[in-house]
Chains A and B, each alone.
Chain A
């Protein structure tokens, strides 16, 4: 065995060592990608802070432009809760323009769903979430803006 080690080309040794290091780094990267999770929204600094009605009106005016501006951004939205709507085993919070029927809706991050259940209609709240964008609903004939991974803004 010792004789074999002595005979091993130093370049071959370096190549083998490099392969081992690369394999460990690759395995680590794959492990990281597969186990990566979304951060708690409350720990992320928001890109925008807006009033719900202003946001609705901005989307009503031009939703393509608004989607480019707000899509996938972390935002704080302040407004009056017009509906607490059951969504499977949890609830979504809605802030609507009662004149046009257009609305913004917030689906909460699993660890913050208990917060949504405490919110009441008519309350003024501040919600932070990831904006998925807005669209015109053919069913409701109104503009709607959806948010995911939301939390009560603290």
Chain B
């Protein structure tokens, strides 16, 4: 009897452990708007808050725009400036979505799974739907996740002569990666 209770308690504890929301405050977002004319507009941000709820299948991230680091100071200044991302007025970018094929991912079993994710991405104060397929790696209690997708800058109200001149990609590639505990 005691053994049965212990087993039930262990199973319940394990279930609760896997069901709880996994987070990190050190997710990475890479932004690549390079073109054949200009290799400078690319940046990384390593302090991204990322959360995945294995039970609900929700996925979210928050990025502080001014924490993107570029190699070139001038490009970083333009990136945050009022003619581009206007980071003073719109300090964060956010994503809120869900894993749409949650049944295909076994968060209790180690392995690499394809995760179809759909949700709303807000950049520059504009919210647009985004869909992508990423990877989720389950390794014990830890999860790691990564996905990449492209956005159209004009969809988010970002334009300017440098974009029109082809020095900045009209559809930058965004890569998100996170190790969650």
Give chain A's interface residues, CB within 8 Å of chain B: 33-34, 36-38, 67, 71-72, 85-88, 90-92, 94, 103, 105, 107, 132-133, 135, 137-140, 144, 146-149
Write out the residue numbers on chain A whose beta carbons fall within 8 Å of the beta carbon of B26: 85-87, 91-92, 105
Decide if the interface of chain B is mainly helix, strand, loop or mixed.
Answer: strand
Give chain B's interface residues, CB within 8 Å of chain A: 23-28, 40, 45-47, 49, 51, 60-62, 64, 66-67, 69, 71-74, 91-92, 94, 177, 179
Decide if the interface of chain A is mainly helix, strand, loop or mixed.
Answer: strand
Structural contact, B46 and A135, CB atoms closer than 8 A = no
A149 to B76, CA, bound (A): 13
A103 to B66, CA, bound (A): 17
Structural contact, B72 and A92, CB atoms closer than 8 A = no
A81 to B67, CA, bound (A): 20
Give the residue of A85, A92, A133 whose beta carbon is less than 8 angstroms from that of B66. Answer: A133
Structural contact, B25 and A135, CB atoms closer than 8 A = no
Structural contact, A90 and B46, CB atoms closer than 8 A = yes
A144 to B48, CA, bound (A): 11
Enumerate 23 A-B pairs (CB-CB under 8 Å) in ascending A order. Answer: A33-B74, A67-B91, A87-B27, A87-B46, A88-B177, A92-B47, A107-B46, A107-B69, A132-B67, A133-B66, A137-B49, A138-B94, A139-B23, A139-B49, A139-B60, A140-B23, A140-B49, A140-B51, A144-B49, A146-B64, A148-B66, A148-B67, A149-B69
A133 to B63, CA, bound (A): 12
Structural contact, B91 and A144, CB atoms closer than 8 A = no
Structural contact, A92 and B92, CB atoms closer than 8 A = no
Write out the residue numbers on chain B whose beta carbons fall within 8 Å of the beta carbon of A33: 72, 74
A38 to B43, CA, bound (A): 13
How many whole Å from A106's CB to the nearest CB in chain B? 8
Give the residue of A38, A86, A132 whose beta carbon is less than 8 angstroms from that of B64. Answer: A132
Give the residue of A85, A91, A133, A140 whose beta carbon is less than 8 angstroms from that of B91. Answer: A133
How many whole Å from B69's CB to the nearest CB in chain A? 5
Write out the residue numbers on chain A whose beta carbons fall within 8 Å of the beta carbon of B46: 87-88, 90, 92, 107
Structural contact, B60 and A135, CB atoms closer than 8 A = no
How many whole Å from B79's CB to the nearest CB in chain A? 12
Give the residue of B24, B49, B51, B71 whose beta carbon is less than 8 angstroms from that of A37. Answer: B71
Structural contact, B179 and A86, CB atoms closer than 8 A = yes
**Chain B residue at minimal CB-CB distance from A108:** B46
